[in-house]
Structure formats: structure tokens, C-alpha cells
Structure 1
């Protein structure tokens, strides 16, 4: 029996306790976690396979490759660039899943404040398969508004990101 890993959640962002939560997952044969990891952690590739991200920058230097504690910013879902920081970074290895998560925040008036944790888990599975799981927990009025939209733009946007990273890693 194979047990699949789960996202590590800080208590503040625990799914179901905030204003919006989405979860997307794909399992694909013929790819490896290491191959996917490259396209997920090298932000210079993001815009080539995901059209809902822009204005990626690194205000404290570093990048374009993500790493532990790295500060960066990016625009997405029509928000101005969000201040982000990598809070978990574990490169995939044999029997060890890749783990990447970052917080992203937008300050301002209460109706503008947004605080999210976006997490990724990338793991090799038996039979030459890879599992890519992405989940995001959001706090704030903009998050609550997104959660009430139909279709859910976060769910669809993150599926597009998953589909894009699979395409890029498969090329």
C-alpha cells in the first residue's frame, strides 16, 4: 500500500478556518518530481506556462530560483504584486516529496487586505508516476469575495497552473 503525503499547514492557515481554500491535484505518468520541481521553483519559467502571473521580482535580491526564506513578489488574479516569502522549501529526493510553500500578503484598507499560504507537494509514485498537489488557504475580504464567485477563479486558476507545469515539464 502506498501512502500519499500531505501539505504541512501552519495553524494560522489551517484549511477551513480562513475565508477561501482551494485544492488541486494531478497524477501523471512519465514525469519525475525532479523534472516538475525545476519548472515550479524557477520563476523565470512561470510566465511561459501560466498566464495568470506577472511582475515577478525579488526585492531583497536573489531569484529567479526560489529557495528557503526568499522574499519575492508577483501579481496574480488581478491583484497588484503581492509581497511573498518562501516558508517551506524541500527539494524532492528518493522517498522524500518536494515541498514548497510561500505566504503572500497585500496590505491596505480592511477590504483590500489579503493573507495567503500557497503550498505545493511534488512526489514520485510507484509505476513512473508523479503527484503534484497544490493547495491555498486565504484570509481577508478579497478572499471571501473570490470564494463566492462561480466558477471559483482560484480553483480554475490553480488547475491552469498545474496543467501548465505538467506541459512544461513534459516538453
Structure 2
């Protein structure tokens, strides 16, 4: 039996308690967590495989590689650039999953305020497989509006991110 790991959730962002929650996962053969991790944590590669992110910057310096407690900004889903901060960062290792999560906020009028936690888990599985799980909890009126759309743009957008990440790590385009 294989036990799979789970996202570490701060209580504020516990799935099902916000205005929108999405979960996407892929399990792929012939890739390792280390191969995926490289493309996930190097923000300079994001726009090459995911077309729903733009204007990535590091207002306090640092980057493009993410690390614990690093602030950054980026645009996504048509929102103005979000202020983000890495809150969990653990590189994958022998029997240890890679863990990455960040909070992202948009402080504005109550109708436009947004507060999210986007988390990733990347782990090697037996049989030369890798599991990539991404989940996000969103709080705020824009999140509630996204959750009502069918299909949910966040769910589809994150699936595109996962698919692009796998393509980038395998060196394949357009799959």
C-alpha cells in the first residue's frame, strides 16, 4: 500500500471554509519530483508553460527562484497583480515530498478584496511515478463569483498549469 501525503493547511484557509476551493492532481510516469520542482519553483519558467500568469516581479529583490518567506507579485485570472509571499517551502528529497505554498492578497474595496492560499505537493511514488497536487482556497467576493461559474475557471486554469508543468519537465510541447 502507498500512502500519499496531503497539503498542510493553516486553519484560515481550510478547504471548504472559504468562498472558492479547487483541487487538481496528476500522476505521471517517467518523471521525478526533482524534475517538476525545478519548473515549479523557478518563476522565470512559468510564462513558458502557463499562459495565465504575467508580470511576475520581486519588489524586495530575490527571485526568480522561490524560497521560504520570499515576497513576490504576479497577475493571474484577470486580477490586478497580487501581493504574494511564500509561506511553505520544502524541496523534495528521499521519501520527503516537495511542499510549496504562498498566500496572495489583493487589498482593495470589499467587492475586490481577495485572500488566497495556493499550495503544491510534489512527491515521488513507487514505479517511477510522480504525483503533483495543487489546491487553492480563496476568500473574497471575486472568489465567490469565480466559484459560481461553470465550468470553474480556477479549476480549469490550475489543470492547465499542471499540464504545462508536466510538458515543461518532459521537454514536450503541445501535448
Quickly name the TM-score band, shorter chain normalised.
over 0.9
Distance apart, 1:121 and its partner CA = 0.1
Structure 2: where are the runs of 5+ without partners? none
TM-score by length of 2: 0.97
Q: Which residue is 1:147 aligned to? A: 147
TM-fit CA distance, 1:82:
0.1
Query: What is the CA–CA distance in structure 1 between the aligned matches of 2:75 and 2:133, rounded to whole Å?
Result: 22
Cα displacement (A) at 1:150: 0.8
| Aligned CA-pair RMSD | 0.3
Q: 1:105 matched to which residue of 2?
A: 105
Q: Does residue 10 of the first structure (1) align with residue 10 of the second (2)?
A: yes
- Residues in 2 aligned to 1:43 and 1:80: alpha-carbon distance in whole angstroms: 18
1:53 aligns with 2:50: no
Equivalent residues in 2 for 1:72-151 (5 A)? 72-151=72-151
* Structure 2 CA distance for aligned equivalents of residues 60 and 17 of structure 1: 32
Q: Secondary structure at the match of 2:16?
A: coil
- Which residue matches 2:65? 65
Question: Displacement of 1:165 after TM fit?
Answer: 0.2
Deviation, structure 1 residue 53: 0.1
Runs in 1 of length 4+ with deviation above 2 angstroms? none
Gaps of 5+ in 1: none
Normalised to the residue count of structure 1, the TM-score between the two structures is 1.00
Deviations 1:14-37 (A, max 9, x none): 000000000000000000000000
Q: Hey, what's the Cα distance between the residues in 2 that align with 1:73 and 1:149?
A: 26
Match of 2:80, SS state, is strand
Q: Which residue of 1 aligns with 2:26?
A: 26
In 2, the alpha carbon distance for the partners of 1:110 and 1:149 equals 20
Matched positions, count: 171
Does the residue aligned with 1:84 lie in a helix, a strand or coil?
A: strand
